[in-house]
Amino acid sequence: MDGNLKLSHSIGLEGVQNARELGGYMTADGRQVKHGVLLRTARLSTGSAEDLRRLSEEFHLAKIFDFRGRDEIEGSEEMAIFKGDSEPDPDPAVEGAEYLNLPILDLDKVMEQNRELMKQITGRIDHIKLIELTVKAGFIGDELYFDFLDGDLGKASYSRMFRELVALEEGKAALFHCTQGKDRTGVAAMLILSVLGVPEKTIVEDYMLTNIYNADRIAMERMMLERSGKVPAEMMDTYLMAMDKVNEDTMTNVIAHVKERCGTVIDYIKTELGVTDEEVEQLKDKFLE
């Protein structure tokens, strides 16, 4: 995957990490996803005033879907393992855009399942220890993604996302994000592109663009982990995935998981998320050209 693919999908935000769009991808039937209407990013709290102005005035942003939970956004000592560097979106995030909090993961449930690990978060705790706890809690990789798609909270929020996209006014854009714009956001992109008829190979390539957009961050994080001397070489990629890296096998396995459960991704979207055949066609009419 080269830099040209990165440039063709960038939305040019200077302060927002992993900021890109789904526009330009070709569908299996030869149509193309419209540019400038389906945007995916990391959290918006790092956006400059110019970034937020452009989202409003150039992209005509009408809806923001934030896939983080409220406790995660607001932060607490107990949530440190999951919060990372999350911060609330600006209020208002973008002039003229409706903000919708659509949490994907039930973090209370995750914390309950990892009660003993939670006890280790006392006082100040170094970054590498947090990453270690994140990995031990399973807050990374295939099983986490399965939880996004199998859990009641995730299904309700992804379903609401589709309803909001169906209702999106013509000429307006929608932006979806989590903290780093790679996991919950990556699954959302997979679902949207699947509905629009984009081939699986392209969907995986879109997912993997995170490693290009985050290349500098990943390189610095790798250096930090290596210098610490605390991370075994065979665990290096796992630790990096707990931060800003993604692994191709994860998305491939997620798609296979959905197929095993429902037959196809579209069948999952219809049966588990309640998107109708008519709404699928409405989405295609709205977002394809």
Q: How far apart are CA 218 and CA 229, in angstroms?
A: 17
The torsion angles phi and psi of 21, rounded to 5 degrees, stand at -135, 165
pTM listed for this prediction:
0.91
* Cα–Cα–Cα angle for 33, 245, 157, rounded to 5 degrees: 55
Is 188:63 a contact under the CB 8 Å cutoff? no
Domains of the chain: 3-287 (3.90.190.10)
* Structure confidence at residue 114 (pLDDT): 58
* Structure confidence at residue 106 (pLDDT): 79
* Structure confidence at residue 71 (pLDDT): 73
Indicate the length of the chain as a whole number.
289
- Quick one: 152 exposed, middle or buried, by C-beta within 10 A (0-12, 13-18, 19+)? exposed
Q: How many Cβ atoms from other residues are within 10 Å of residue 213's Cβ?
A: 21
Q: How far apart are CA 205 and CA 200, in angstroms?
A: 9
| Helical axes 184-196 vs 152-167, angle rounded to 10° | 50
* Structure confidence at residue 93 (pLDDT): 75
CA distances from 283 to 95, 204, 208, 276 (A): 25, 21, 24, 11
* Structure confidence at residue 120 (pLDDT): 61
* Structure confidence at residue 9 (pLDDT): 94
Kindly give the residue spans of alpha helices, DSSP state H, lying in 34-106: 49-57, 70-74, 80-83
Grouping H, G, I as helix, E, B as strand and the rest as coil, residue 111 is helix
Grouping H, G, I as helix, E, B as strand and the rest as coil, residue 191 is helix
Q: Residue 101: in which H helix or E strand, if any? A: strand 98-101
Q: Residue 39: in which H helix or E strand, if any? A: strand 38-41
Q: How far apart are CA 89 and CA 198, in angstroms?
A: 30
Q: Residue 211: in which H helix or E strand, if any? A: helix 200-213
* Structure confidence at residue 83 (pLDDT): 47
Neighbouring residues of 127: CB distance < 8 A, sequence distance ≥ 6 = 224
Ramachandran class of 263: left when φ > 0, alpha when ψ lies in -120 to 50, beta otherwise: left
Strand duo 38-41 + 20-21: pairing: antiparallel
Q: How far apart are CA 166 and CA 283, in angstroms?
A: 6
pLDDT tens, N- to C-terminus, the chain (289 residues): 444 555 689 999 999 999 999 999 999 999 999 999 999 999 999 999 999 999 999 999 999 999 998 877 775 555 544 545 567 888 777 999 999 999 998 776 766 665 665 566 555 556 677 777 777 766 677 988 999 999 999 999 999 999 999 999 999 999 999 999 999 999 999 999 999 999 999 999 999 999 999 999 999 999 999 999 988 899 899 889 988 999 999 999 999 999 999 999 999 999 999 999 999 999 999 999 9
CA distances from 130 to 62, 82, 165, 208, 261 (A): 36, 9, 36, 25, 33
Q: How far apart are CA 177 and CA 18, in angstroms?
A: 10
